[in-house]
Amino acid sequence: MSILKFLHKQISVARVYGIPVRIDYRWFLVFAVVLWLIVANLRHGSATLPAANLPAALLLGMVTTLALFLSVFGHELSHALMARIEGIETEEIVLHPFGGLARLRSLPESPGAEFRIAIAGPAASFLFALLAFAGTLIAGKIGYQTAASVFFLVFFGNLLLAVFNLFPGYPLDGGRVLRAFLWHRGGNIADATRIAGRFGQVIAFALIAFGVFIVIARRDFFTGLWTVLIGLFLLDAANGVVKNIEGVEQATVKDAMSVPVTIEPDVLVSHFVDAILPMHRQTSFLVARNNRLHGVLTLEDLKALPRERWRQVRASEVMRPVSPLLFVAPSTSIARANEIMRSNGIGALAVIDQSGALVGFLQRGTLKQRK
């Protein structure tokens, strides 16, 4: 295995609220660099802070660096918990060299949900910054200047994280806020995502140019190179978003549908729950006979049916009857299908061909949400 492939791998470190937490191997390099910078500053000292010996500087540097990266994790966890409130589960949280990523399983249902999920991260970072600033004041007032310096670094790091993430370019949180606004105004999430991604590309190019300026004008190679790397990382992510949304717009339901799992209209609910449901991880099931759609049976609708009636009631009695919001043609675009799934209250669609035959099944989440 090459070094580059090794550095692109991830390691699982924990599960928090049932969410897997992983660390990109490249993160350890950044951790080491940040630790070295903090230790060097602590060893050098300042006008208000005496220089620390090496063991003390290493200990304080480790505590400060861990606090900063835990702040990044807290930022991403806030996104994940807000998404859970909105009914969206998180596949994983990944800490990478330039921040973090909460990977959601599906798109938000509305612009309002998108806004709340997006703003949760910066709000958490501002809160962490406020708490750290209070720690700075308290530690300074009682004479613990070293502790005050550590709190100040945590304060400044969280403030920088919050402000930077509010830049209006996808995949930054500010870009997601922009997407929510454009989605609300225009009603099309695909167009909103594309525009927010373009803004992300502009911000990335600006960061790269600014990094080059720092290297040339100020001879600060470390800061300039770091800024360029962040810009390149954002550019790659923004390019991926734009390319993905353009690919989705070209893709059709036929490219994403799966083989339908169907149940007969006269099947008893008890048989469905005991014999069919355990075999399939779906929240909606197509009710069909002879390849003709009769309706859709959802687990949400079954909750209203008392358990003692399961042996008397058939699927046709509790299913949702066929309506235009429950099926699409194979040639329908994925973007349009996702819009229908967000509005039909089921999050799934039957796929019907021109002859009226059932040919496929589509579930919400065809478009994956990435921060």
Phi/psi at 289 (5° precision): -145, 135
The pLDDT score that the predictor gives to residue 129 is 96
Cis, peptide link before residue 55, omega less than 30° from 0: no
The pLDDT score that the predictor gives to residue 258 is 87
**Domains identified in the chain and CATH numbers:** 3-251 (no CATH), 254-363 (3.10.580.10)
DSSP per position, 199-227: HHHHHHHHHHHHHHHHHHHH--HHHHHHH
Greater confidence, 222 or 173? 173
- Taking alpha carbons only, the member of 25, 106, 41, 118 closest to residue 78 is 118
What mean pLDDT comes out for the span 123-135?
A: 96
What mean pLDDT comes out for the span 40-64?
A: 72
What mean pLDDT comes out for the span 337-365?
A: 85
Spell out the residues 6+ positions from residue 9 whose beta carbon is closer than 8 angstroms to its own.
24, 25
297: pLDDT confidence band, cut at 50, 70 and 90? Answer: very high
Q: How far is CA 327 from the centre of its chain?
A: 28
Q: How many CB atoms lie within 10 A of CB 17?
A: 11
**CB contact at 8 A, 20 and 12:** yes
Is the pLDDT confidence value at 197 over 70?
yes
Q: How many CB atoms lie within 10 A of CB 201?
A: 18
What mean pLDDT comes out for the span 240-248?
A: 74
Is the pLDDT confidence value at 371 over 80?
no
170: pLDDT confidence band, cut at 50, 70 and 90? Answer: confident
Q: What is the DSSP letter of 272?
A: I
Q: What is the DSSP letter of 56?
A: H
Rounded (10°) angle between helices 173-186 and 189-218:
150
Q: How many CB atoms lie within 10 A of CB 102?
A: 26
The pLDDT score that the predictor gives to residue 250 is 66
Of the listed ranges 50-59, 188-197, 281-290, 301-310, the least confidently predicted one is: 50-59
CA distance 291 to 16: 44
Is the pLDDT confidence value at 344 over 90?
no
What mean pLDDT comes out for the span 346-364?
A: 89
User: Computed from CA positions of residues 88, 89, 92, 94, in that sequence, does the dihedral angle turn out positive or negative?
Assistant: positive
106: pLDDT confidence band, cut at 50, 70 and 90? Answer: confident
The pLDDT score that the predictor gives to residue 367 is 44
CA distance 33 to 98: 12
Residues of the chain with pLDDT > 70, as a percent, come to 92
Greater confidence, 128 or 45? 128
**CB contact at 8 A, 39 and 58:** yes
Residue whose entry in the numeric block shows the structure tokens 């969410």:
19
Q: In what order do the strands lie in the sheet with 19-24?
A: 10-16, 19-24, 90-96, 99-104
What mean pLDDT comes out for the span 189-195?
A: 85
Is the pLDDT confidence value at 236 over 90?
no
What would the two tokens of residue 251 be?
């893709």
Residue whose entry in the numeric block shows the structure tokens 């990044």:
72
Is the pLDDT confidence value at 112 over 90?
yes
Whole-prediction pTM: 0.69
Is the pLDDT confidence value at 1 over 60?
no
The pLDDT score that the predictor gives to residue 370 is 37
The pLDDT score that the predictor gives to residue 248 is 63
41: pLDDT confidence band, cut at 50, 70 and 90? Answer: confident
DSSP per position, 146-205: HHHHHHHHHHHHHHHHHHHHTSSSTTSHHHHHHHHHHHHHHS-HHHHHHHHHHHHHHHHH
Is the pLDDT confidence value at 2 over 50?
no
Is the pLDDT confidence value at 5 over 60?
no
CA atoms within 13 A on the CB side of 214: 15
Is the pLDDT confidence value at 302 over 70?
yes
Of the listed ranges 97-101, 120-124, 176-180, 297-301, the least confidently predicted one is: 97-101
Is the pLDDT confidence value at 14 over 60?
yes
Of the listed ranges 7-16, 70-79, 222-231, 290-299, the least confidently predicted one is: 7-16
| Average pLDDT of the chain, as a whole number | 85
Spell out the residues 6+ positions from residue 270 whose beta carbon is closer than 8 angstroms to its own.
310, 311
CA distance 78 to 119: 9
